[in-house]
């Protein structure tokens, strides 16, 4: 992969945690899906989130990005506090819309299904939001988009359209599009689950490059070898709680709980 231009490398000198999550709860009706999640991601951390289907992984990411409203808890994003006290109605009465938008803008979310705009060229897919949302000039947005497409290995395909690409290529464009918004934190929800097996590695390769640059990333994945190689920490969720959080060495060689051991033996 082509190395990142200097200017996009994340500054890791700041010691304020990138994200602190305190006692996050989420209910869907009467069902408590997240039962008090607390953890800290420091600048440059890559945290892999593992767990069986239904354990709350997607809900956790969606609550962090406020795509779902957490029912209770606190989020601090690079030190900026957003307390999510809710009223009886379950609405986020305490959260101002402006604060919500600012919070969301700092996080880039990469989904399982890339959701590119089919009628726009790759370049426009990546350049549109920075021009419209970040207020960059069209010229600057397009130049930066071209550099990002180069970075994910698609520099030669700027003028083609998403549906002419493989799933792996589309996901790489989706990553470039996310990076174009200059997020402080990258959230990935099973970014390779929708791909044919032979296309998985090209996407993981791009993600490895981002980890090497020192970007802060939270990644829900079933790719165990990737999680082991790339993570600074592994989080294992079970029924809405963090069952175990450990270094990859510890987690993969000596998991403390029986449940983690069982999970690993069925996924390795």
Contact set with ligand ADP (CB under 6 A): 28, 33, 51, 53-59
Minimum distance between the CB of residue 112 and Mg ion, rounded to whole angstroms? 8
Minimum distance between the CB of residue 187 and ligand ADP, rounded to whole angstroms? 13
Give the containing element (helix H, strand E) for 188: strand 185-189
Minimum distance between the CB of residue 59 and Mg ion, rounded to whole angstroms? 8
Q: Residue 142: which of ligand ADP, Mg ion, none does it interact with, CB under 5 to 8 A by kind?
A: none
Contact 177, 99 (CB under 8 A): no
Contact 181, 108 (CB under 8 A): yes
Question: What number of CA atoms fall less than 13 Å from residue 189's CA on the CB side?
Answer: 20
Q: Residue 59: which of ligand ADP, Mg ion, none does it interact with, CB under 5 to 8 A by kind?
A: ligand ADP
Q: Residue 48: which of Mg ion, ligand ADP, none does it interact with, CB under 5 to 8 A by kind?
A: none
Nearer of residues 74 and 112 to ligand ADP, judged by Cβ:
112
Dihedral of CA atoms 248, 253, 258, 260 in degrees, nearest 10, equals 30
59 binds Mg ion per the rule CB under 5 A: no
Q: DSSP 3-state assignment of 146?
A: helix
User: How many Å apart are CA 230 and CA 127, to the nearest integer?
Assistant: 29
User: How many Å apart are CA 231 and CA 104, to the nearest integer?
Assistant: 24
Give the containing element (helix H, strand E) for 197: helix 197-212
Nearer of residues 57 and 151 to Mg ion, judged by Cβ:
57
Supply 267's token pair: 């996924």
User: How many Å apart are CA 204 and CA 206, to the nearest integer?
Assistant: 5
Minimum distance between the CB of residue 250 and Mg ion, rounded to whole angstroms? 24
Nearer of residues 56 and 162 to ligand ADP, judged by Cβ:
56
Q: Residue 98: which of Mg ion, ligand ADP, none does it interact with, CB under 5 to 8 A by kind?
A: none
Q: Residue 56: which of Mg ion, ligand ADP, none does it interact with, CB under 5 to 8 A by kind?
A: ligand ADP
Minimum distance between the CB of residue 235 and ligand ADP, rounded to whole angstroms? 12
Nearer of residues 32 and 124 to ligand ADP, judged by Cβ:
32
Number of residues that bind Mg ion (CB under 5 A): 2
Length of the chain: 268
Strand-strand pairing, 19-28 and 72-77: antiparallel
The correct pick among 10, 43, 48, 58 for binding Mg ion (CB under 5 A) is: 58
Nearer of residues 58 and 125 to ligand ADP, judged by Cβ:
58
Nearer of residues 50 and 145 to ligand ADP, judged by Cβ:
50
Residues 6+ apart with CB under 8 A from 198: none
Minimum distance between the CB of residue 75 and ligand ADP, rounded to whole angstroms? 17
Minimum distance between the CB of residue 191 and ligand ADP, rounded to whole angstroms? 13
Kindly tell me the sign of the dihedral angle through the C-alpha atoms of 101, 103, 107, 112: negative
User: How many Å apart are CA 246 and CA 93, to the nearest integer?
Assistant: 35
Nearer of residues 28 and 117 to ligand ADP, judged by Cβ:
28
Binding site for Mg ion (CB under 5 A): 57-58
């Amino acid at each position: 992969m082509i190395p990142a231009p200097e200017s996009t490398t994340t500054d890791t000198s700041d010691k304020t945690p990138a994200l602190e999550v305190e006692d996050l709860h989420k209910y869907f009706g009467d069902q408590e899906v997240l039962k008090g999640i607390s953890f800290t991601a420091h600048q440059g951390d890559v945290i892999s989130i593992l767990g069986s289907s239904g354990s709350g992984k997607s809900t956790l990411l969606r609550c962090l990005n406020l795509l779902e409203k957490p029912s209770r808890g606190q989020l601090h994003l690079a030190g900026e506090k957003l307390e999510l006290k809710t009223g009886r109605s379950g609405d986020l009465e305490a959260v101002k819309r402006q604060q919500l938008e600012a919070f969301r803008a700092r996080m880039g979310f990469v989904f399982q299904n890339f959701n590119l705009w089919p009628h726009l060229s790759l370049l426009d897919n990546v350049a549109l939001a920075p021009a419209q949302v970040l207020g960059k000039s069209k010229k600057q947005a397009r130049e930066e988009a071209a550099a990002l497409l180069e970075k994910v290995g698609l520099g030669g395909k700027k003028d083609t359209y998403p549906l002419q690409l493989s799933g792996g290529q589309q996901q790489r464009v989706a990553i470039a599009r996310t990076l174009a918004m200059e997020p402080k934190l990258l959230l990935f929800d099973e970014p390779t689950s929708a791909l044919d097996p032979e296309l998985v590695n090209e996407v993981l390769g791009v993600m490895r490059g981002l980890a090497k640059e020192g970007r802060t990333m939270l990644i829900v994945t079933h790719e165990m070898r990737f999680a082991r190689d790339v993570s600074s920490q592994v989080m294992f969720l079970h029924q809405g709680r963090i069952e175990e959080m450990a270094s990859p060495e510890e987690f993969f060689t000596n998991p403390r709980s029986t449940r983690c051991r069982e999970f690993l033996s069925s996924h390795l």
